[in-house]
Chain A
Amino acid sequence: MMSSVAQSPTTGYLTMRLASEYYALPGTSVREIMRWRTPTPVPGAPPMIPGLINQRGQILTVIDARLLLGLAAAPLDRSTRLVWIQHHATDAALLVDAVIDLITIAPDHLTPPPINLTGSAQRVIQAVYQRDDDQPIAILDPSALLILVQEAL
């Protein structure tokens, strides 16, 4: 006789690193991961926007995730990646220090963000996933992230 085990649906997340911190975006908002290439600068754009890139005919605005989240700027290296995010009608390329992995997380494994978060982190971190033997991963809300871009520039 087979027993039915209730399983909560899992969601895929792309994990990435900024400085020594780990973040994740829902896989549904990620279209592609790209290697760094020098963008075309836009005169008058803030430092958070290093420029524009072409990815197979789609022009994407590059957003430096470090500066968006209030972290210090850092030099580019071999692990630097651009993450093409898409939310509703908005596309952008998020500049991150490294892309780590694609993982699945059950909703009941997520915890609310710490109440002592401040600044931009408070607005864009929607949950935290605590891995057993490693640093926590802050789950980013792509919608809040793009709203923050509009307001923070």
Chain B
Amino acid sequence: MILLIETITRRYLGRQSDIDTIGWPSTVDRDERGRAILRYQLGPLLDPTDPPASGRLHALTIGLRRRVVELLAVRIDLLADAPTITPLAPFLAARLRLPWVTGVALLDEQPVVVLDLRRLAADLALGLRLNHTEEAL
């Protein structure tokens, strides 16, 4: 199943199978297994022009071995009809700074990129960021 994830100015797609839970962000720093919880707003994490959202956000929670990553978004919906996903052009996929985008689909005739949310969470847990976020975080 495919998730439509909305930030303030962008839309992304992700695979539900990458996610452990979808809900509200937690209010604690560690989960019941003692794993540190890392929280990121997905919008500014992926795009420097996408401002942080205020108000109540939704969280995509991905549990890793030693960390839990919560990716916060304005809105998350499960798409009833999965769109056709096209791989990125090889010359682009091979040169992404971090391989967080696996493909693209058309929604309302607009390209929407498909995120590898588990890879993204794993990289965040390792301290990896896109260039534009390194100074901000």
Contacts and interface: CB of A to CB of B under 8 A. Distances in A.
A42 B109 contact: no
Interface in A70-126: 90-92
A3 B96 CA distance: 61
A61 B110 contact: no
A146 interface: yes
A49 B91 CA distance: 11
B49 to A, nearest CB: 8
Q: Tell me whether chain A's interface is mostly helix, strand or loop, or mixed.
A: mixed
Interface size class of B (residues with CB under 8 A): 20 to 34
A44 interface: yes
Given A54-B106, A59-B111, A44 B130 contact: yes
Task: Report which residue of A43, A44, A51, A52 has the largest number of chain B beta carbons within 10 angstroms of its beta carbon.
Answer: A43
A12 interface: no
A40 interface: yes
Given A41-B47, A44-B97, A59-B106, A54 B111 contact: yes
A43 B92 contact: no
Contacts of A1: none
Contacts of B104: 40, 42, 52, 59
Given A54-B106, A59-B104, A45 B111 contact: no
Nearest to B42: A43
A39 B110 CA distance: 9
B52 to A, nearest CB: 16
Interface string B92-110: 1011111111001010011
B47 A45 contact: no
A43 B46 contact: yes
A40 B92 contact: no
A7 interface: no
Given A43-B100, A44-B97, A53-B111, A61 B89 contact: yes
Interface in B92-137: 92, 94-101, 104, 106, 109-113, 115, 130
Contacts of A61: 88-89, 91-92
Interface of A: 39-46, 49, 51-54, 57, 59, 61, 90-92, 146, 149-150, 153
29 contacts: A40-B111, A41-B10, A41-B47, A42-B92, A42-B96, A42-B101, A42-B113, A43-B47, A43-B96, A43-B100, A43-B101, A43-B113, A44-B100, A44-B101, A45-B95, A45-B97, A46-B95, A49-B92, A51-B111, A54-B106, A54-B110, A59-B104, A59-B111, A61-B88, A61-B89, A61-B91, A90-B91, A146-B91, A149-B91
